[in-house]
Amino acid sequence: MYTTDMSGNKKAEVVAEDPEELAAFEARVANDEFIEPKDWMPEAYRKTLVRQMSQHAHSEIVGMLPEGNWISRAPNLRRKAILLAKVQDEGGHGLYLYAAAETLGTSRDEMTEALLSGKAKYSTIFNYPTLTWADIGAIGWLVDGAAIMNQVPLQRTSYGPYARAMVRICKEESFHQRQGYEIMMHLAVGTPEQKRMAQDALNRWWWPSLMMFGPPDEKSPNTAQSMRWRIKRDTNDELRQKFVDITVPQAEAIGLTVPDDKLKWNEERGAYDFGEVDWEEFAAVVRGEGPVAKERLQARQKAWDDGAWVREAARVHAEKRANAKVAAE
Amino acid sequence: MDVIATYALRLGDDSLILGQRLSEWCGHAPALEVDLSLANIALDQVGQATHFLNLAGELEGKGRDGDALAFRRDVMDFTNCLLVEQPNGDFAQTIARQFLFSHYQALLFEQMAAVKDTRFAAIAAKAAKEVAYHATLASDWVIRLGDGTDESKARMVAGLAWVWRFADELFAMDAADAAAIEAGAGVDKSALRGAWDSRVDAVLAEATLARPAPHRATTGGRIGRHSEHLGHLLSEMQFLQRAYPGATW
Ligand SMILES: [Fe+2]
Ligand SMILES: [Fe+2]
Ligand SMILES: [Fe+2]
């Protein structure tokens, strides 16, 4: 998930806080009140939020790359416009999220530097390549679909600016999910080549999509704390199960096969049993060893470096204008 | 193709090729806000292209729609001006291209919104609002970069120097233009030049930039004589339609 805790198995460090303030804060959160930027908050809460929100923002921005890869090759004018608008939406999501994270006292430039240095993470899913047009369908359907599953509950997360950003973002993500599924539906009833393309995309994106929900609950030590703080509202495994249960019938409806031998409806549980995610691969991708991780960071670094003179010119020009205005007064 | 269809085709091709070029920036722009603005302009251009190319196909009457026209023609049948197919270069070159083109498009669509043929007038009326914004955005960047740092100024000068030779083609008139005017669909582009010059000069002055030296016009786009760049753009844009003939998407 864009927001899953990828900090590994480290327990969040404990900083001594004023017990009365802490108790009052915990009570407000437990009461489902929103915490606003000027309110007192424990340091660990602030840190966790900055990490989670900046990671989410970075995921939106890095996520523009795999889909952006197909804008110039979209198969018709309508699909081109839809994809361009989608990728632009993701950029907009990045912008709201950076702005929301900045209210916690970390600047966008600092967050960007952390991304480029490899210190900050982004969703593992964007370290996989988009090879065919069907990948654009698969990403919308599965990746935006998985993102929604996590983000809908975050509309009621305890930090006000984050919750409000989520409300706006969720509306657009569900559009993206439907558009992606629509691409897949179309391919699935197309020529044999198109159908093969769709199945191949599902084969490649299925397991990485399940990884988006993060490590299994027993290996996610910060989940309890985050849930108590209402930064997270469901566990990784709960969300993963929900995703499987919703998505498998969607695949069946268009005649595609989910690439999992162990997938089976469990009447008793009223849910699908499914195979084990390759957690070793997940860990490697989190470490920055995903198939196209180097390409993704290189592209972000290049945009940042190549744009430096533009940002500098804009800054200098604004300064000249401000000085001219002062001189004129 | 009859001349009125050709006229619509040219308008559509200009927008299509520029939209394609601009979308290459998506995810790679100098700042997030810039990324969003360039994508916005690209989207507007793709939208205009869709309208004009569909209209061209309709006027042609051979069952080709906008997609058939966009994805199934070769270089020699594309009728866009040479300016829009120029590579993005650095951000300054992209802005220089946009600056010249958007001021032209703004003047063109302002007039076209009032032509007799309601099909052209309707598309132009909607597009006029969009391109007026593009012209403002491009002008603001010309000013920022021209009157920014030494480096940005040098880059802006180089960007303008690259695109300047393609400006004359925007205003060139031929038989298709004359027929379109006659039919109440077209605009006298040569008459837009004076207003374009004064708008462009005003921005350059504010940007502390000199107007580039006169250059012999490089033309040919309207009759399918393009730069080497267009073929590469098309081979990428048309890949799926070429690789899977007959498939729908
Ligand atoms: Fe998004
Ligand atoms: Fe998201
Ligand atoms: Fe999305």
CB pair distance less than 8 Å for B249 and A79: yes
A304 to chain B: nearest residue by CA? B30
Residues 6+ away with beta carbon under 8 Å from A117: none
Look over chain B and give the mean of its residue pLDDT values, rounded to a whole number. 97
User: What pLDDT score was predicted for residue A146?
Assistant: 97
Phi, psi of A294 (to 5 degrees): -65, -40
- Cα-to-centroid distance, A176 and ligand 1 (Å): 9
> Does position B26 have pLDDT exceeding 80, yes or no?
yes
What would the mean pLDDT of A244-250 be, rounded to a whole number?
98
Q: What is the pLDDT of residues A40-66, one digit of tens each?
A: 999 999 999 999 999 999 999 999 999
Nearest CA in chain A to B208: A317
Q: Which residue in B28, B50, B64, B65 has the most chain A C-beta atoms within 10 A of its own C-beta, making it the best mutation to test that interface?
A: B28
- Of the pLDDT bands very low, low, confident and very high (cuts 50, 70, 90), residue A230 is confident
Question: Which of A232, A221, A145, A217 has its CA nearest to residue A182?
Answer: A145
The total number of residues shown for chain A amounts to 329
Report residue A9 as tokens.
């198995």
Mean pLDDT rounded to a whole number for chain A: 94
Class of the CATH domain delimited by B3-243: mainly alpha
- pLDDT, residue A304, reads 98
Task: Find the mean pLDDT for residues A101-123.
Answer: 96
| Predicted local distance difference test score (pLDDT) of residue A290 | 97
3-state secondary structure of A273: strand
What mean pLDDT is predicted for residues A226-253?
93
* pTM of the predicted model as reported, rounded to 2 decimal places: 0.96
Give tens-digit pLDDT for A181-199: 999 999 999 999 999 999 9
The residue of B144, B234, B238 whose CB has the most chain A CBs within 10 angstroms, and thus the best one to mutate to test that interface, is B144
Nearest CA distance, B39 vs chain A (angstrom): 6
* Res A13 pLDDT > 70: no
So what's the pLDDT on residue A3? Answer: 65
Alpha-carbon gap, residue B183 to B178, rounded angstroms: 9
pLDDT number for residue A272:
98
Question: Does A93 or A10 have the greater pLDDT score?
Answer: A93
Distance A95 CA to ligand 3 centre (A): 13
Identify the band that residue A17 occupies on the pLDDT scale cut at 50, 70 and 90. confident
- Percentage with pLDDT > 90 across chain A: 87
Q: Which residues contact A9 (CB under 8 A, 6 or more apart)?
A: A219, A221
Residues 84-143 of chain A with CB under 8 A from chain B are: 84-85, 87-88, 91-92, 94-95, 98, 133
**What pLDDT does B1 receive?**
76
* A70 and chain B in contact, CB less than 8 A: no
Cite the beta strand spans of B157-249 per DSSP E. Answer: none
Q: Is the pLDDT at B229 greater than 60, yes or no?
A: yes
**A16 close to B (CB below 8 A):** no
Is the distance from CB of B139 to CB of B100 less than 8 angstroms?
Answer: no
pLDDT tens, residue by residue, B63-73:
999 999 999 99
Q: Assign B173 a pLDDT band (cuts: 50, 70, 90).
A: very high
- Nearest CA distance, A306 vs chain B (angstrom): 7
**B13, B26, B37: best mutation site toward chain A, by most A Cβ within 10 Å?**
B26
Q: Indicate the pLDDT class of residue A223, thresholds 50, 70 and 90.
A: confident
For residues A8 and B248, the model is more confident at B248
**pLDDT surpassing 80 at residue A9:** no
Cite the beta strand spans of A256-316 per DSSP E.
264-266, 271-273
Question: Is a pLDDT exceeding 80 seen at residue A179?
Answer: yes
Please give the residue that has the higher pLDDT: either A13 or B204: B204
The CA–CA distances, whole Å, from A143 to A23, A146, B126, B163, B219 equal 38, 5, 35, 41, 46
- Return the C-alpha torsion angle B166, B170, B176, B179, nearest 10: -160
Q: Is the pLDDT of residue A15 over 90?
A: no
The whole-number pLDDT of residue A4 equals 66
Q: Cβ separation of A88 and B152 shorter than 8 Å? A: no
Q: Which residue of A has its CA nearest to B248?
A: A190
Q: Are B171 and B71 in contact (CB under 8 A)?
A: no
Model pLDDT for residues B97-156, shown as the tens digit of each residue = 999 999 999 999 999 999 999 999 999 999 999 999 999 999 999 999 999 999 999 999
Q: Do A303 and B29 touch (CB under 8 A)?
A: yes
Backbone dihedral region for residue A74 (phi beyond 0: left; psi -120 to 50: alpha; all else: beta): beta
Q: How many CB pairs under 8 A join A and B?
A: 144
Pick from B42, B47, B236: CB nearest A73: B236
What is the mean pLDDT of the segment spanning B35-50? 98
Whether residue A6 is predicted with pLDDT greater than 80 in this model: the reply is no
Give A59→chain B minimum CA distance, Å: 12
Question: Which chain A residues are within 8 Å of B31, Cβ to Cβ?
Answer: 307, 310-311, 314
Give the model's confidence band at A1: pLDDT under 50 very low, under 70 low, under 90 confident, else very high: low
Encode B89-136 in three state secondary structure.
CCHHHHHHHHHHHHHHHHHHHHHHCCCCCHHHHHHHHHHHHHHHHHHH
Of A226 and A302, which is predicted with more confidence? A302
Contact indicator for B100, B168 with CB cutoff of 8 Å: no
B91 vs A307: CB contact, 8 Å cut-off? yes
The tokens of A175 are what? 């559009």
* Average pLDDT estimate for A191-219: 97
Separation of alpha carbons A52 and A154, rounded Å: 12
Tokens in use for A43? 């340091």
Confidence of residue B25 (pLDDT cuts 50, 70, 90): very high
Ligand 2 centre from A173 Cα, in Å? 7
Q: Report the C-alpha gap between A200 and B238 in whole angstroms.
A: 22
CB A257 within 8 A of CB A251: yes
Give the model's pLDDT for residue A14.
Answer: 61
**CB-based contact B149 A313, cutoff 8 Å:** yes
A10 has a pLDDT exceeding 90 = no
Chain B: give the shortest CA distance to residue A5, in Å: 25
> Which residues are near ligand 2, the ion (C-beta closer than 5 Å)?
A 2, 147
